[in-house]
Amino acid sequence: MEQGRQIRVIISGGGTGGHLFPALAIADALKELEPSLELLFVGARGRIEMDRVPKAGYRIIGLDIQGLQRRLTWSNLLFPVKLIKSILKSNKIIKEFRPGIAVGVGGYASGPLLLAASRKGIPTVVQEQNSYPGITNKNLAKKAQRVFVAYEGMERFFGAGKVRLTGNPVREGLLETGRKKAEGLQHFELEEGKKTIFLTGGSLGAGTLNRSVKAHLDLLRANQVQVIWQTGKFYYHDIKKEFSEKEYPGIRIMEFISRVDLAYAAADLIIARAGAGTISELCVVGKPAILVPSPNVAEDHQTKNALALAKQEAALLVRDETATKELIPAALQLLGNTEKQDMLARNIRRLAKPEAAREIAAEIIKIAQAS
């Protein structure tokens, strides 16, 4: 890159919060390190990034791209057409924006954009959140300059020369949650002195987690336990219809929580799926957690993620198939065991990598400047 030329970065991907929030953390770190840097997001139309990225203050362009379904569907027949259209549109985006580097964070849009960028000789990097990468990132990494990972031993997938162990970037504000408990309780209109659970199945929601709470509402009320309950967009309206806030005054039901830092701050215990991004956040927050891995993800990587923490006594693991019956009783038992809570919090905190976003951003700028 010529001396004094403005750095331009494209960040592509999304589809779920697990891909999007690390992308936003990287974007914020890039702007912090290089305020004059110009950023463009490329996402998939109709996905979470098309709403959340503009709200975070960044420009985004959507591709008409989708993933392949595991079963035979009509939408799978459209996949080749949408892929070709997305690659052609990616070529146009690159021609007009003229990036110095393209960053892929996983999700439908990262494939076409990074493929188009690498064909035009533009440096690319990949941020892999999971302990077992998907096919897309394995292929994209072949031509990438760097692959930023969160787990040791990833060289077996990507080659030692490209891999940088940085951890996963986490959302701004999570580093300060320890000082925000009173603010968090006030924000969600909860009482001080009562135990509080933050339960989240991610931006889309998790049916198993939602059913687990619904099955034990009376038990939660009897134990005077408060719940910040992020149901996800797929479940919110149905749950809200059948739920009585007067009957369960300590339960706060929300489709999506934008101030997740305050939810973490208010909580004494966190219940979540075991996506890589969520685990990275839990490590930084450093509170007791119960993980319920989703069985419906590629390579069963959430179970691998959760087992890695459970083996180090950094979190408890409850299987999806038994969660409806066992999850809330296990949570109540843990809330009654201060010694075990302290042990889990101490061990998960040791796994945190709070500087991940800045490390990744600094390397991106370095590669862009050298190109």
pLDDT digits (tens, 9 = 90+) for 78-130: 778 888 999 999 999 999 999 999 999 988 889 999 999 999 999 999 999 88
Separation of alpha carbons 168 and 276, rounded Å: 8
- What confidence category does residue 70 fall into, taking pLDDT thresholds of 50, 70 and 90? low
* pLDDT attached to residue 73: 63
Decide which of 74 and 134 is more confident: 134
Neighbour count for residue 169 (Cβ, 10 Å)? 32
- What pTM was estimated for this model as a whole? 0.82
Range of weakest confidence among 264-273, 293-302, 337-346: 293-302
- 228 with 257: CB under 8 angstroms? yes
Residues at the binding site are 16-18, 130, 171, 203, 257, 302
pLDDT tens-digit series, residues 170-207: 877 887 888 899 999 999 999 999 999 999 998 778 99
Q: What letter would DSSP give residue 296? A: S
Residues at the binding site for UDP-N-acetyl-alpha-D-glucosamine are 16-18, 130, 171, 203, 257, 302
What percentage of the chain has pLDDT greater than the value 70?
Answer: 96
Is 3 exposed, middle or buried, given 0-12, 13-18 or 19+ CB atoms closer than 10 A? exposed
- Domains of the chain, first to last: 8-170+354-370 (3.40.50.2000), 174-349 (3.40.50.2000)
- The two tokens of residue 114 are 């990074």
* pLDDT attached to residue 75: 63
In angstroms, how far is the first alpha carbon of the chain from the final one?
5
The Cα angle at residue 58 between residues 142 and 281, in degrees rounded to 5: 65
